[in-house]
């Protein structure tokens, strides 16, 4: 009986060895075939690339790489497309900004130079001053450019701190005028204010192609009122909303106060732009100016522009937004992407979250996907891979119980034990058999028989 068991065992072991050798031979032959095919494909690709000119997406990439030569910074202000500091880097001549190291004697900026300036705007200002002996004077100036302090996807902020109608005892004027043919408008996000006790003023705008003109007055300002706002230079003021307009003319009349060398004034500003201050009459601010992309008289919105894909400025998957049926603008607001949203700019590129701080568990691997990322748990573990301390959806990575897995790990004669906390697996041979107890190992054999190699 014992001899029959030995004979059967040697037959089984020999059959298993032959099967293993045959499998190894087939795997090696398959690997050699794949390597030969890859080498041939690489040679064909190289030969075709030498003959084929760049077309399609590759040509577009070359065009965008030329745009990377554009200077996109003037001082501390970023200059994204459609703006540029030279004609070849901007959508049109209206979007070319001039980077200057000198603003002249009448303009100032809270930002360090150099400064990008918009030249399609003209401004006049009158600044009155009260002297210690009680006398006053009104000085005026005119400029044909203003510094730009911020550029966003649908507006720019222009520093207008020195554009005021500041009259001492008499009414004076100030104005802002944008080129009639330009794609710019003074937006209705700005407000008209009259600052200082007993000051008064007015604002008149000619409107836009889609909105009527307006006229508003403010004051005389009560010397004690509820409008002691930061953007009123921490002083009593009167505030009025305005409409969108291409031109704005203001009048202002105030008086000099003993504690303030300047006189009361009228001005227009974006309340969100106010900064600095702390003292009466001190601070900087700007005017909110909207802009849009326009291509001829028949292109008024995104749907009309998109009909001509070659001239449509928005890249995929950028968002196109209509601007009062008078043009459009592009921006990259889709989650997981970044850029200016324009084909000839930086476009809308996928963010590789794996190269940045993400919410993956320390034992998980971050895998970048189109517009997002995934956290992949290690082999033999399951879960979404998110760190529960960083993301409320996280359940981290936990070990998969190998004893409950449909793919059997332990041999039929072994008992399976799995530690879910450490991931340790033990296959213990039973019934007088010995071995590692694993299906892909030595398995379990009767004591006294040689163990067949795996």
Give the pLDDT score at 260: 58
pLDDT value for 388 = 84
What average pLDDT score do residues 231-257 get? 83
What pLDDT does 208 receive?
81
Distance CA 339, CA 67 (A): 14
Mean pLDDT of 227-242: 74
Percent residues over pLDDT 70 in the chain: 76
pLDDT at 136 over 60: no
Can you tell me the mean pLDDT for 397-403?
Answer: 91
How does residue 222 score in pLDDT terms, banded at 50, 70 and 90? confident
Judge whether residue 50 has pLDDT over 50.
no
Show me where the domains of the chain are located.
70-291, 352-400, 402-454
Least confident of 15-19, 228-232, 350-354, 372-376: 15-19
Cα dist from 215 to 26, 204, 206, 211, whole Å: 89, 4, 9, 13
Q: Is the pLDDT of residue 21 over 70?
A: no
Of the segments 37-46, 76-85, 167-176, which one has the largest average pLDDT value? 76-85
Q: What is the pLDDT of residue 254?
A: 80
What is the model's pLDDT at position 123?
93
Least confident of 251-260, 366-375, 421-430: 251-260
Over the range 404-418, which residues count as b (16 or more CB within 10 Å of their CB) and which as e? eeeeebbbebbebeb
**Assessment of whether the complete model's pTM goes beyond 0.75:** no
| Residue 154 confidence (pLDDT) | 92
pLDDT, residue 43, reads 42
- Gap between the Cα atoms of 32 and 421, Å rounded: 42
Q: Predicted confidence band at 276 (pLDDT cuts at 50, 70, 90)? A: confident
Hey, what CATH topology would domain 352-400 get? Answer: Laminin (2.10.25)
Range in 75-79, 115-119, 294-298, 310-314 the model is least confident about: 294-298
Of the candidates 140, 129, 202, 194, the one whose C-alpha atom is nearest the C-alpha of residue 168 is 129
Higher pLDDT, 242 or 57: 242
More reliable by pLDDT, 27 or 421: 421
Average pLDDT over residues 135-156: 87
pLDDT of residue 42: 47
| pLDDT for residue 450 | 62
User: What pLDDT is recorded for position 135?
Assistant: 52
The Cα 200–Cα 194 span in angstroms is 6
* pLDDT, averaged across the chain: 81
Query: Comparing 264 with 174, which gets the higher pLDDT?
Result: 174
| pLDDT score for 263 | 78
243/188 Cα distance (integer angstroms): 5
**pLDDT attached to residue 247:** 95
Task: Measure the CA–CA gap between 198 and 192, rounded to whole angstroms.
Answer: 16
Distance from C-alpha of 323 to C-alpha of 329, rounded to nearest angstrom? 7
């Amino acid at each position: 009986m014992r001899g029959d068991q030995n004979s059967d065992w040697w037959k089984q072991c020999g059959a298993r060895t032959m099967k293993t050798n045959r499998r190894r031979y087939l795997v090696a032959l398959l690997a050699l075939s794949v390597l030969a095919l890859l080498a041939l494909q690489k040679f064909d690709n190289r030969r075709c690339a030498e003959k084929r000119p760049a077309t399609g997406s590759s040509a577009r990439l070359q065009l965008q790489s030329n745009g990377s030569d554009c200077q996109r910074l003037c001082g501390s202000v970023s200059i994204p497309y459609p703006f540029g500091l030279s004609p070849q880097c901007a959508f049109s001549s209206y979007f070319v900004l001039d980077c200057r190291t000198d603003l002249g004697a009448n303009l100032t900026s809270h930002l360090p130079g150099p400064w990008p300036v918009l030249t399609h705007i003209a401004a006049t200002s009158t600044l009155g001053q009260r002297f210690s002996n009680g006398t006053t004077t009104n000085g005026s100036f005119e400029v044909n450019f203003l510094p730009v302090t911020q550029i966003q996807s649908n507006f720019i902020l222009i520093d207008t701190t020195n554009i005021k109608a500041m009259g001492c005892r008499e009414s004076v004027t100030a104005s802002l005028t944008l080129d009639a043919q330009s794609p710019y408008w003074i937006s209705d996000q700005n407000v008209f204010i009259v600052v200082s006790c007993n000051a008064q003023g007015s604002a008149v705008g000619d409107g836009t192609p889609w909105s009527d003109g307006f006229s508003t007055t403010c004051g005389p300002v009560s010397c004690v009122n509820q409008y002691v706002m930061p953007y009123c230079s921490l002083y009593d003021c009167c505030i009025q909303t305005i409409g969108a307009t291409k031109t704005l003319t203001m009048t202002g009349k105030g008086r000099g106060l003993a504690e303030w060398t300047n006189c009361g004034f009228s001005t227009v500003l974006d309340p969100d732009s106010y900064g600095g201050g702390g003292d009466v009459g001190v601070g900087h601010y700007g005017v909110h100016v909207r802009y849009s992309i326009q291509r001829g008289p028949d292109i008024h919105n995104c749907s009309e522009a998109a009909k001509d894909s070659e001239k449509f400025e928005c890249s995929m998957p950028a968002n196109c937004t209509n601007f009062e049926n008078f043009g459009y603008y592009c921006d990259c607001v889709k989650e997981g992407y970044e850029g200016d949203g324009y084909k000839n700019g930086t476009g809308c590129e996928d963010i590789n979250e794996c190269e940045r701080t993400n919410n993956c568990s320390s034992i998980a691997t971050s895998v970048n996907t189109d517009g997002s990322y995934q956290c992949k748990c290690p082999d033999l573990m399951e879960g979404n891979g998110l760190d529960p301390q960083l993301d409320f959806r996280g359940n981290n990575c936990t070990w998969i119980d190998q004893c409950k897995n449909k793919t059997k790990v332990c041999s039929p004669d072994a008992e399976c034990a799995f530690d879910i906390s450490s991931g340790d697996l033990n296959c213990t041979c039973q019934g007088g058999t010995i071995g590692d107890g694993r299906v892909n190992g030595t398995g379990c054999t009767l004591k006294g028989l040689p163990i067949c190699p795996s």
